[in-house]
Structure 1
Amino acid sequence: MWDNSPFPMPDGAKITGRRGDQYKVSVSMPFDPDGFYGRQCPECSMLFRVNADDYEALPEGLQLWCVYCGHNADHTEFWTDQQRERAMEAARALGAQIVHQGFTRMLRKSRSTARRGQVSISFRNRPPYPRPLPGIDEERLARTRTCAGCEIRYGVFGEHRYCPVCGRLPAATVAFDALQAETARLDALASLHDETKAVLREQGVFTRSWVDAVENVVGVVEALGSSVFHERVTDSEERLRGKGSVFQRLDDMADLFVSAGCPDVRALVGPSTWNRLTRTWAARHVFTHNDGVVDERYLRRVPGARTSLGQRLVISEAECREAIADATALCRALVDLGPSPAP
């Protein structure tokens, strides 16, 4: 199917204007089967998606954010490789016809001079027939998200920290997303075929993943606790002076919030959950700093531990999932903390 412009253009491309020898061409970009429009960061080159209806409703001069690295630029810079190739094919179709037209005009002049014996040119006047534009066939989305701020729907293919329209995501959104990712990783390992599981288990992949999850949930809580404290406590910098990595230390973090007039998160999550969290934090410490070998510090923090001094901790999948659930409860408690009283 071709349009009726001076130069035939393939379906999806149309000449919309001309100024002198410059042409303006509009090229349609198909959405994916889920109704999402591909975007690619010009800085880190990673792909993400934005709902087509939501995207079309955005203002023309939109500054877009890369959901992964936070690069911020005009939305027209976020073409995907396949979209760029589609546009270039339209440009090539127009360019070939402009060149053909130029040769045709030159041929007419040459024929007139050829009759005077000055030059002889042979030219077969067959206009180029534009090829169909390439389609867009990019990776399908597994999950879509909706920004709590601007409500735009988008999809990602990895860990992200930004909304494509709003920019930096709230710390709570990042925290809960990270905890869900840990659960998704465990679920993916559990769904593997038995033969694959056996190979990975023998190589220690499962136990390493469980240890990584324990270490990661501590990092998630640390980041959220720090963000909430800075947001809710007006004199946060003064209170944090000289306290080091206080948000890595569970009871110290709880005491810090209490001293600032906030509720005690230990009471909010309950004693049994807090005891398990204390054990998780102690486990994280020995895995991070002592290759999982139990030291005196661990035994002081976990009274009645089944392991002895010098033994190496072993984490089970059930304990790992429990740690994620407990960390999720703690993150909810942190988010629910009210602001401290005015000094």
Structure 2
Amino acid sequence: MNDSFTISIPSDDDGYVLFQCPTCGTYFKVTPSDAKDDGVLEIFCPCCGLVGENYITEDVFELAMIISKNKAMDMIHKELKKIERQFSKGFVTLKVGKPPKQEPEDPIHSSIEALEITCFPCCQRNAKIKPILKMTGCYCPFCGVKNYELK
């Protein structure tokens, strides 16, 4: 039985994917190609400058939990059905009811659009960050260098 699953994280109209810093909670966007590039060793939060273990948003985490719960309930029900067949005749019987209702697995939508494309001159890469960070200074998501008043 295949226990793995894939969650598709959509990109916005410009091709950027939403990330959330696990430390400060700031949202920002980078392109999937930049995030997977071998030249980018770690992703830094543009607000706090710290490296996170992962930048999964709450929506993605919640969807993963729902999918996992649905798969686990299906597996448990199938195993109980097998046991029911084994004990169908005899002194002890087991009656398994209907399969449990599945929780809806709603697709993820790229919902945060109040971010602006910013060019980071240190790495010659772009990311989408909050406009206030652009004015006050932020960290490059690709190398961690502090940039002030980006254009």
TM-score by length of 2: 0.79
**Structure with the bigger percentage of helix:** 1
Number of residue pairs matched by the alignment: 147
Whether 2:48 is the aligned partner of 1:69: answer yes
Q: Note if contact 2:74-2:99 (Cα within 8 Å) is conserved in structure 1.
A: no
Task: Tell me, in whole angstroms, the C-alpha distance in 1 between the residues paired with 2:142 and 2:60.
Answer: 20
What is the 5 A alignment of 1:106-255?
106-111=83-88, 115-116=89-90, 118-126=91-99, 131-157=104-130, 158-159=132-133, 160-170=137-147, 174=148, 176-177=149-150
Give the secondary-structure state (helix, strand or coil) at the position aligned to 2:6.
strand
Residue aligning to 2:25: 45
- Identity percentage of aligned residues: 21
Query: Where in structure 2 are there 5+ consecutive unaligned residues?
Result: none
Task: Tell me, in whole angstroms, the C-alpha distance in 1 between the residues paired with 2:67 and 2:99.
Answer: 19
Q: Note if contact 1:70-1:167 (Cα within 8 Å) is conserved in structure 2.
A: yes
The one-letter code sitting in structure 2 at the alignment partner of 1:72 is: V
Q: Note if contact 2:40-2:142 (Cα within 8 Å) is conserved in structure 1.
A: no
Q: Note if contact 1:49-1:154 (Cα within 8 Å) is conserved in structure 2.
A: yes
- List, as ranges, runs of 4+ consecutive aligned residues in structure 1 with deviation greater than 6 Å: none
Judging changes above 3 Å, is the alpha-carbon distance between structure 1 residues 32 and 86 closer, same or farther for their aligned structure 2 residues?
A: farther
Give the secondary-structure state (helix, strand or coil) at the position aligned to 1:72.
coil
Give the secondary-structure state (helix, strand or coil) at the position aligned to 1:144.
strand
Q: Note if contact 1:97-1:128 (Cα within 8 Å) is conserved in structure 2.
A: no
Task: Tell me, in whole angstroms, the C-alpha distance in 1 between the residues paired with 2:40 and 2:117.
Answer: 25
Residue aligning to 1:102: 79
Whether 2:59 is the aligned partner of 1:82: answer yes
Q: Note if contact 1:147-1:163 (Cα within 8 Å) is conserved in structure 2.
A: yes
Query: Where in structure 1 are there 5+ consecutive unaligned residues?
Result: 1-5, 7-14, 16-22, 181-343
Give the secondary-structure state (helix, strand or coil) at the position aligned to 1:122.
coil
- Per-residue CA deviations over 1:111-150 (Å, capped at 9, x if unaligned) read 1xxx22x223322354866744432242104420121122
TM-score by length of 1: 0.38
The one-letter code sitting in structure 1 at the alignment partner of 2:121 is: A
Higher relative CO (Cα under 8 Å, sequence separation at least 6) belongs to 2
Whether 2:4 is the aligned partner of 1:24: answer yes
Residue aligning to 1:282: none
Task: Tell me, in whole angstroms, the C-alpha distance in 2 between the residues paired with 1:154 and 1:139.
Answer: 14
Give the secondary-structure state (helix, strand or coil) at the position aligned to 2:93.
coil
Judging changes above 3 Å, is the alpha-carbon distance between structure 1 residues 84 and 49 closer, same or farther for their aligned structure 2 residues?
A: same
Q: Note if contact 1:89-1:133 (Cα within 8 Å) is conserved in structure 2.
A: no
RMSD over aligned CA atoms reads 2.7
